[in-house]
Structure 1
Amino acid sequence: MSAVIDDAAWLAHRYDPDHDAFHFRRVARTVRAATPFLTDQHLGDEASPLVLRRSDCAAAAPDQRAPVHFLFHSAYCASTMLAHALDQPGVATTLSEPVLLNDMIGWRRRGADPRMHGRVMDDALAMLGRGFADGEAVVVKPSNIFNPLARGALTLRPQARAILLYAPLRAFLLSVARKGLWCRLWCRELLENYLADGFVRLAFEPRDYFRQSDLQVAAVGWLAQQQAFAALLGWAPERIASLDSETLTRDPAAAVAAAMNHLRLACDRAAIAGHPALARNSKSGAAFAPGERQRDLAAAETAYGEEISQVVGWAEAVAAQAGIPLTLPKALPTG
């Protein structure tokens, strides 16, 4: 048991509430660095996971926990690139969208007892928060479906710091438009889940969403996340900072250095500048040319600009009525 818990290569991958057990699979650090998301789609199916009772895992966990920090994001904002760039041996290891946290939100949605859910979440974070080396911090980048539980996770880890990464509204909508039908459908699914979580606090009736276009639905999801992020910043301003995707991609090395300073990680600017994550597409692994994101957005602007301008104007009016800032405060100092 302790050999598994002491070895960070054994990734805590799933939680089974029926048996109160964690499922582990071996994922080497090099595999994590080359994989956009720690999901079965990208890692491959694991036919024989190692199944351990949660109580046994908790008993075997070390008394001295590694520092755990969070990178919460609202999608299409270069979060995977930032997460991978923060992975530096001896300093920090990162987890990009571990399925275990998706299980936490899904179980809660199915009616988990809140007290039991809190205990399991604490143990889940302990299992994820295992570094590869002594003194190595762990930075967790959950999927954005986990955002309704962001405050709970930060409450369970009062020493944790967090970065809230987001794309500006227009850039977000341009990304959705250029990615096509599957992305528009994903935005509808995300909003459906956020509504089930009680995460959307805007002045819409349920029937209103049926009357909205795909990009309006995408904008509502963005507004819900922006509203929650602003509330998080107001709740714990000393622990949380914001960063927007255009600042990140304009000068990635400077943004990564600022992120490491905020997370209180030892910052080696030479190591950052030479990090492979800054030179490749985080999804495909292909070489990433400087300015590629900006050129993609400009092409989308040409194709969809008129429709997006209409949706942005509508969303800005909704934001003004709800008091949602389009630009988050407490921005990381990257200059």
Structure 2
Amino acid sequence: MTTNLDQFVRSTISQAEWLVHRYDAPRDAFQMIQVDRATRAGIPFLVDEHLGTPSLRAFRRADLPACSTAPMHFIFHSAYCCSTLLARSLDVPGVATTLKEPQVLNDMVGWRHRGATPAQIRPVLDQSLALLARPFEDAESVIVKPSNVVNALIGGMLSLRTDAHALLMYAPLPVFVASIARKGMWGRLWVRDLLKKQLADGIVDLGFSPGDYLLHTDLQAAAVGWLAQQALFTRLATAMPHRVRLLSSEVLVSQPARSIDAVAKLFGLRLEEKSVAALVADNFTRDAKTGAAFEVGRRSQDQADGLALHRDEIEKVVVWAHAVAEAAGVAIAPPAALHLSL
């Protein structure tokens, strides 16, 4: 017999605007919030800081029925590499809907750090992905761009979605280190917090002892985190050569139309050449996070200004990181680059 609760749950699940947002581990329940397409497109990340106070519904995980899902693909990244710009560019009604850093995947990481086992996480992660894979239109694919704190779960996510393809985005080492230096104290605190989480995830294997990390400067910590992610990306690309490709931020920015076309082919999206040109014109002239107009050449100028201000420290850290990478067998330029057709 169908109850009012069953009808309420099914009604919620059937509407893509009800986004799975949080996982409450003690109650084994999901929180879902009402966020329409325009709102999702207008904010940089699907986290509380940007979502405000939308309508909320909570359901026990056991009460949720199976839902109809779309093809799902992923944009994973190592931060500050234009992944938000690419995700925004691929949000095309009727073709794909993109989810930028949904909070529920961060919750999986937090739960893991609090002691949850892989056997506990796997079914919840699977159900989270299914709930995320509900498109606004029937013909659409769903492209998820998780936060980079989720990177330790990439292998598990791809094993749960065997039809999914993944793009791994990164900024070249000097660009990444300079970006952190340019962001001042908050950027330096961020990389240390990230490194702490990477150590908890067990993905840092560069030959250092635990005490060594306390002796590293902030930009050395940034480089260590970058190298750990590059090592992870290399392992993934090597293990799944037909499903995983890498793309540099500098390639995306310098060749946006060819990059978007190549990503669309990787994900099986139907984008016409005219549509790609329109996406570039609309998205590559605006700040990916704020939507404000972005002056031509501003990114290059910002990079040059940051390098000029911190040149000595950046250059020393880059040389040091290359030596660490060589000793640990980490490829500075990882394999399996996305192929850009002429």
Normalising by structure 2, what TM-score?
A: 0.94
Residue in structure 2 matching 1:272, options 273, 276, 283 = 276
Q: CA deviation at 1:254?
A: 1.9
Aligned length: 331
Counterpart of 2:208, as a letter, is F
Counterpart of 2:102, as a letter, is P
Distance 1:113 1:242 in 2: 29
Q: CA deviation at 1:318?
A: 0.5
TM-superposition CA deviations, 1:48-107 (whole Å, max 9, x none): 6200111222x2413xx3111000000110010000111111111000000000000110
Identity %: 49
Distance 1:263 1:73 in 2: 16
- Structure 2 match to 1:55: 62
- Structure 2 match to 1:330: 336
Which residues of structure 2 form unaligned runs of 5+? 1-8
Query: Per the alignment, in what secondary structure is the counterpart of residue 211 of structure 2?
Result: helix
Counterpart of 2:261, as a letter, is A
Q: CA deviation at 1:45?
A: 3.8
Residues 1-335 of structure 1 mapped to structure 2, 5 A cutoff: 1-46=9-54, 49-57=56-64, 59-62=65-68, 65-275=69-279, 276-334=282-340, 335=342
Runs of at least 4 residues off by over 3 Å: none
Query: Per the alignment, in what secondary structure is the counterpart of residue 299 of structure 2?
Result: helix
Question: Contact conserved, 2:43 with 2:290, CA < 8 A, in 1?
Answer: no
Question: Contact conserved, 2:231 with 2:331, CA < 8 A, in 1?
Answer: yes
Counterpart of 1:53, as a letter, is R
Distance 2:273 2:82 in 1: 20
Which deviates more from structure 2 when the two are superposed, residues 273-282 or residues 296-305? 273-282
Q: CA RMSD in A?
A: 1.1
Question: Contact conserved, 1:23 with 1:49, CA < 8 A, in 2?
Answer: yes
Which residues of structure 1 form unaligned runs of 5+? none
TM-superposition CA deviations, 1:285-315 (whole Å, max 9, x none): 2112233222211111111111111000000
Distance 1:91 1:137 in 2: 6
Distance 1:71 1:231 in 2: 16
Query: Per the alignment, in what secondary structure is the counterpart of residue 274 of structure 1?
Result: helix
TM-superposition CA deviations, 1:197-224 (whole Å, max 9, x none): 1111110011111111000000000000
Question: Contact conserved, 2:178 with 2:314, CA < 8 A, in 1?
Answer: yes
